[in-house]
Structure 1
Amino acid sequence: MENIRLYYIDRLRVLLTILVVFHHTSITYGGEGSWYYVEAVGGDLTATKALLSLFTGVNQAFFMGFFFMISGYFTPGAYDRKGPARFLTDRFIRLGIPLFIYVAVIGPGLVYALNFADTTPFWSFYKKWVLTFKLINFGPLWFAEALLYFAIIYVGYRWYRKKSNAYTEIRKVPSHTEILIAAVAVGIAAFIIRLVFPVGTEVLGLQIGYFSAYILLFAVGVIAYRNKWLEQLSARMARRWLWVTLAVLPALPMGVLFGAGELNGGVNLTAFIYALWEPFIAFGIIMGLLVWFRERFNRASRLSQWLSDHAFTVYIIHPPIVVGISLLMKEVESPAGLKFFIVGLLATISCFAVSALIRIIPGTRRVL
């Protein structure tokens, strides 16, 4: 397949990366989720917490799955150009090195600064917790870890396909019925998985409870590349699924408000609603963004290219910057919602600025 630059995909990557920064900032100021630093802000935060939690919930439903879909889309072409050995080598360089740096330096540094700095010398902390593997902090680089596993599995799949000649192309974009079946299947699978691995439970940094959607969307990306689904996806189909997303959106807040049971997993109605809610939110937003960016933003731009070039570095380095700016703003008297916006904006600008400085260092662009 001809390697054509898809400028709108570059811009989508930038948007998703910025959402990651704001997502973690929102948790700092009351949104549901797990993060290094959560600020206790005074006052009645019921409305703010609800809005920020809805923001994080919608993000969680689609943005990492969208990242997996985009990664899946570019996987077959990279494999075709490089072959299995070079493909895996490149994956381990571009994903493995940032993952190692985060686990060895950035993650432990953040944990130490926030929890041990006042009582323990850094080297004592590092020997006791990091070198003994009692603390393995993947942070957001769990995504790089998962992509490495997916890359290895994809190489095995291509080897099997070559040996067995078992491959059937799906030429048309899935129908509404097929998408509906996929959404229900993903939701039911997530509900079952969360009976064993509730949301928040990690295995080597991976929240297994979300992986039914991640696996499907990565596979969709792979198939979409071969069959040009991104080009064929119609505005009409995307619009219909956006309406589905809007119709389904209130179901989770209502389920939390009136339901009984633990949201993150278990045999209860609230957990079931949450598991099914996510794919219906995700599919509409993903299709809507794909069509909108394809139709409006598929052109070269010096600024968007610069932002795209720095997006992965921003993703890697954003945790200490978000936490640092949050701590600097700690004594500022301001509503939590306003602090969320200000800190998110400052963190985003700072992340891209620091990324630009990092990528000046010789050799970094081979990885970043």
Structure 2
Amino acid sequence: MSQHAPPAPAAEPAGAPRTRLHYIDNLRVALTVLVVLHHAALTYSNIPVWFYLEPAGDATAGLLDVFIVLNQTYFMGLFFLLSGYFTPGAADRRGGRGFVRERLVRLGVPFLLFVLLVRPVLMIPSYQGAVAEGLAADLPFWLFAIVAYDPGPMWFVEVLLVFALAYALVRRLRRDRAATAVPRPADSAPLRWLWPVAGFTLALAAVSFLWRWVNPAPYWPVLGLPSPDYLPQYLALFAVGILAFRRNWFTRLPGAAGWYGAATALAGLAAYFVAQGALGGPLALPGTPQALVLLVLETVLSVGTMLALLVFFRRFATGGGRLSRFLSQNAFAVYVLHPLVLVGGGVLLAGWEAPAVLKFLGLSALAVPACWALAAAVRALPGARRVL
């Protein structure tokens, strides 16, 4: 297995104009679809962390649980990796203050609009259920919405805004305004990747193991983080994304890296399932050797999957046609608005008696195109494109 791309001695300035990377746009669209599917699966799963839930009525809900758990190992981390990749360029173009203003508008405003306008609508089914069960008979809706507060999927935007502001602060303290004086390696410059990837995987597993040992809470209230276990992964991948932009890693990765990622992801997945049964799975206590083994396998699976997806989309999903542009331009709005479609669709399908997996497929088939239609309609409103 080669660790090098074909050599090319030339390098380009860090601020040189670059063509749009359509494969990254397409990868972000695919991840956004996965977010919609992930939350559609939560609707009918045994994991009660969504706005609208239907109690699992059959064993197929367990398949949705597996789908959700496997997604969680990598898909939000990959979002942070891609977000980190585009952060330095945005700061280079706008400068420190301009970058902070732009992040506050593009991330802070959608977050507030979701919390103030979208979330109250999403809480209506939960409130009606609580009233019917006598759990909120004397509680007005506005108070129920405050007491039960969490930002839902906008936790990602919340954390990403914190990371972006921290990057701006570090950049200012270092007086490193754009690093434009540092040559950016050419697309075909050699890249040593195998041992750095392996080292990063083991280091991330070790840090995550220690983090989960000292912070075993599965959920952070108020901040609404549904997966604080993965914070080391999110931070590390955001930082790797920043370095990847400066050093042109995404383009310089050879095709062999994709095969390596696919092979390690499949091996990690198989070993993870075997270890789950042999070592107690979810019953493995934080800080134990069993938990360490499971976490190493989980990290091998997640890093391998992300590496394989990056190379796969760079090789096979480079199209930037009209449909691709439409999907990409509306992807962030889909992320913000998709809970409305899923909750509405879940209520609409409530009377349908069917296995959990079948209801998941039905809701997903309705929700994915409806999400993009809603996003496009909202973005057509005056001023909406500035924040969505």
**TM value normalised by structure 1:** 0.89
Q: Which amino acid aligns with 2:382?
A: P
- Alignment of structure 1 residues 96-111 onto 2, 5 Å: 96-111=108-123
What is residue 74 of structure 1 aligned with on the other side?
A: 86
Quote the residue 2:220 is aligned against. 202
2:29 to 7, 14, 31: 14
**Match in the other structure for 2:372:** 352
Distance in 1 of aligned mates of 2:377 and 2:139: 28
C-alpha distance in structure 2 between counterparts of 1:270 and 1:35, whole Å: 30
The answer to whether structure 1 residue 278 and structure 2 residue 291 are counterparts is no
Seen in structure 2, the aligned counterparts of structure 1 residues 274 and 23 have a Cα distance that, compared at 3 Å, is: farther
Give runs of aligned pairs for residues 186-265 of structure 1, distance below 5 A: 186-198=204-216, 200-202=218-220, 204-206=223-225, 207-260=227-280, 262=282
- Specify whether residues 222 and 28 from structure 1 end up closer, same or farther in structure 2 by C-alpha distance, changes over 3 A only: same
What is the rounded CA distance, in whole Å, between the counterparts of 2:261 and 2:129 in structure 1?
A: 49
Note the 1:41-190 alignment, pairs <5 A.
Answer: 41-43=56-58, 45=59, 48-116=60-128, 119=131, 124-126=140-142, 128-130=143-145, 134-162=147-175, 173-190=191-208
Supply the AA of the counterpart residue of 2:109: I
Q: Deviations over 1:196-228 (max 9, x none)?
A: 333622151233210111111111111111111
2:164 alignment partner, SS class = helix
- Once residues 178 and 332 of structure 2 are traced to their aligned partners in structure 1, the CA distance between those partners, rounded to angstroms, is 36
Q: 8 Å contact 2:202–2:296 — kept in the other structure?
A: yes
The structure-2 alpha-carbon separation of the partners of 1:149 and 1:329, relative to structure 1 and needing over 3 Å to count, comes to same
CA, structure 1 residues 173+279, in 2 after alignment: closer, same or farther (shift >3 Å)?
A: farther
Q: How many angstroms apart in 2 are the aligned matches of 1:163 and 1:317?
A: 36
Q: CA deviation at 1:59?
A: 1.2
Residue aligned with 1:362, SS: coil
Report how many residues are paired. Answer: 362
Distance in 2 of aligned mates of 1:164 and 1:123: 52
Q: After the TM superposition, which residues 310-321 of structure 1 pair with which residues of structure 2 at under 5 Å, given as runs?
A: 310-321=330-341
Change (3 A) 1:230 1:25: same
- Gaps spanning 5+ residues in structure 1: where? none
Verify the 8 A CA contact 2:268 2:298 in the aligned structure 1: no
Distance 1:237 1:135, change over 3 A: same
Q: Does 1:325 align with 2:340?
A: no
Q: CA, structure 1 residues 260+268, in 2 after alignment: closer, same or farther (shift >3 Å)?
A: farther
Most deviating of 166-175 and 249-258: 166-175
Gaps of 5+ in 2: 1-14
One-letter amino acid of the structure 2 residue matched with residue 9 of structure 1 = I
Deviations 1:267-303 (A, max 9, x none): 3455334432332122222121111211222232100
Q: 1:200 to 1:310 in 2, by over 3 A?
A: same
Instruction: Report the Cα distance in structure 2 between the residues aligned to 1:21 and 1:163, rounded to whole angstroms.
Output: 38
CA deviations on 1:144-178 (whole Å, 9 max, x unpaired) are 11111111111112122227999999966453222
Contact map agreement 2:219 2:228 (CA 8 A) in 1: yes
State the identity as a percent.
36
8 Å CA contact 1:198, 1:265 repeated in 2: no
Whichever residue aligns with residue 42 of structure 2, its letter is I
C-alpha distance 170-186 of structure 1, shift in aligned 2 (>3 A): farther
Q: Which is worse superposed, 290-299 or 112-121?
A: 112-121
Summarize the Cα distance change of 1:50–1:235 in structure 2 as closer, same or farther, 3 Å threshold. Answer: farther
> Aligned equivalents of 1:59 and 1:196: distance in 2?
24
Q: 2: distance between equivalents of 1:14 and 1:123?
A: 40
Of structures 1 and 2, the one scoring higher in RCO (CA 8 A, sep 6+) is 2
Q: State the shift of 1:243 in Å.
A: 0.4
